[in-house]
């Protein structure tokens, strides 16, 4: 797409469709939160996440209700799978007929996932832009195009000559050809994409004092266990736990007759592991966003469907969490000595049975209801 200049619309001098349709509103919202919250970038990300999550709440509420309805239909689906065991085509047809009959769309949960991908990518780009640190390859750093860019933007400074890291300027020309694409797009001055009230005078401070100086524009090495150069981020572990809980709440219960059950169970563990892996690759601000986002989603799911299918969790069913079908948590099973000790109290009114195998000794045998007493001499 060709470069489109915003002609100074509300101070935005650089606009490139279609990407900036998603990026610029989110970037400006993030800067608003940053400036209003005492220049605290962590609080800005948290508020940004809550605002975005609340704005999209109606869409996700519909998704959660659809998932709850699918959980309620699991006994019907299992009956279809039992009835047509071995005939996958028939099972698929009958299952889709059930979904249609109950007004459930199995693909309803995909739309929120698709929508959040541009948000994640936009936030990632916003964190990179906000950090004002640009890393180039050795070839790009020595190219004539980069020399011309530095002449046009004198505020580009060198951080590390060996790593080829540079700082992008806050202000400057917004229409240079180097911004059209390629390796130099991140040198676009920040103020070129901000509205007038949000123009920056100083670089954004991405280090957070109350998080032990964690730099949210870089990978987490403050709360991380470094193993062979890979940082096992504590923030990523927390985000992974939240994601496991969120997925477990909405996942169907294991069913050996369901061919998709194994896939669902695998994804429930795979996604949290991927989150931990991404925590060692992406800026910690992005992982913080994902942790807050998932925690918000857990709260929203709980308000609509309770604990869902979270319990039993590895065999643990707490007393304060009822089963998904509404029944109370299972009681503690009695041990064998307890059953032996309690058994005599249940059989009769007397706890000491008399010899002869019948309780009550020579008590006459009771007649069944409605049967008359037989008269006559016994011969």
- Span 157-179, pLDDT tens digits: 888 888 888 988 999 999 898 88
- Crossing angle of helices 57-72 and 234-250, in 10° steps, is 50
Three-state DSSP class for residue 144: helix
Structure tokens at 331: 């009681």
Alpha helix (H) residue ranges in the chain: 19-36, 41-55, 57-72, 74-83, 88-102, 110-131, 138-141, 144-152, 234-250, 261-279, 284-305, 336-342, 344-347
What is the distance between the alpha carbons of residues 122 and 20, in angstroms, rounded to a whole number? 9
* pLDDT computed for residue 310 by the predictor: 81
Identify which has the larger pLDDT, 25 or 325: 25
Question: Residue 94 — pLDDT band, cuts 50, 70, 90?
Answer: confident
Question: Residue 357 — pLDDT band, cuts 50, 70, 90?
Answer: very low
Within 8 A by CB and 6+ apart from 52, the residues are 26, 29, 119
| Span 31-84, pLDDT tens digits | 999 999 889 999 999 999 899 888 888 877 777 777 777 767 778 888 888 888
| Span 182-211, pLDDT tens digits | 889 889 999 999 999 999 998 889 999 999
């Amino acid at each position: 797409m060709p470069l489109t200049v915003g002609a100074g619309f509300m101070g935005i001098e650089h606009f490139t469709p279609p990407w900036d349709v998603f990026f610029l509103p989110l970037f400006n919202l993030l800067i608003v939160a940053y400036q209003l919250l005492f220049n605290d970038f962590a609080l800005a990300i948290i508020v940004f996440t809550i605002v975005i999550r609340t704005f999209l709440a109606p869409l996700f509420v519909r998704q959660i209700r659809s998932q709850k309805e699918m959980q309620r239909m699991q006994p019907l689906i299992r009956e279809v799978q039992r009835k047509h065991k071995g005939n996958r085509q028939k099972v698929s047809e009958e299952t889709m007929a059930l979904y249609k009959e109950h007004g459930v769309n199995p693909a309803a949960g995909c739309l929120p996932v698709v929508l959040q991908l541009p948000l994640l990518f936009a936030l990632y780009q916003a964190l990179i832009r906000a950090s004002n640190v640009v890393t180039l390859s050795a070839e790009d750093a020595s190219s004539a195009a980069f020399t011309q860019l530095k002449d046009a933007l004198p505020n580009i400074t060198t951080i590390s000559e060996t790593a080829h890291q540079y700082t992008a300027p806050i202000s400057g020309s917004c229409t240079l050809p180097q911004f059209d694409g390629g390796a130099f797009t991140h040198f676009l001055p920040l103020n070129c994409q901000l509205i007038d009230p949000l123009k920056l005078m100083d670089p954004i401070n991405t280090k957070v004092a109350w998080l032990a100086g964690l730099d949210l524009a870089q990978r987490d090495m403050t709360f991380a266990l470094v193993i062979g150069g890979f940082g096992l981020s504590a923030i990523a572990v927390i985000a992974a736990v939240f994601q496991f809980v969120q997925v477990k709440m909405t996942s169907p219960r294991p069913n050996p007759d369901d061919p998709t059950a194994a896939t669902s169970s695998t994804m429930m563990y795979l996604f949290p592991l991927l989150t931990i892996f991404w925590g060692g690759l992406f800026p910690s601000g992005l992982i913080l966003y994902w942790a807050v986002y998932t925690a918000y989603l857990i709260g929203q799911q709980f308000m609509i469907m309770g604990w869902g299918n979270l319990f039993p969790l590895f065999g643990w069913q707490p007393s304060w969490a009822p089963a998904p079908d509404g029944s109370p948590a299972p009681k503690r099973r009695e041990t064998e000595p307890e059953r032996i000790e309690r058994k005599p109290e249940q059989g009769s009114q007397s706890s000491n049975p008399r010899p002869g195998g019948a309780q009550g000794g020579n008590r006459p045998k009771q007649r069944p209801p409605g049967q008359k007493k037989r008269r006559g001499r016994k011969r």
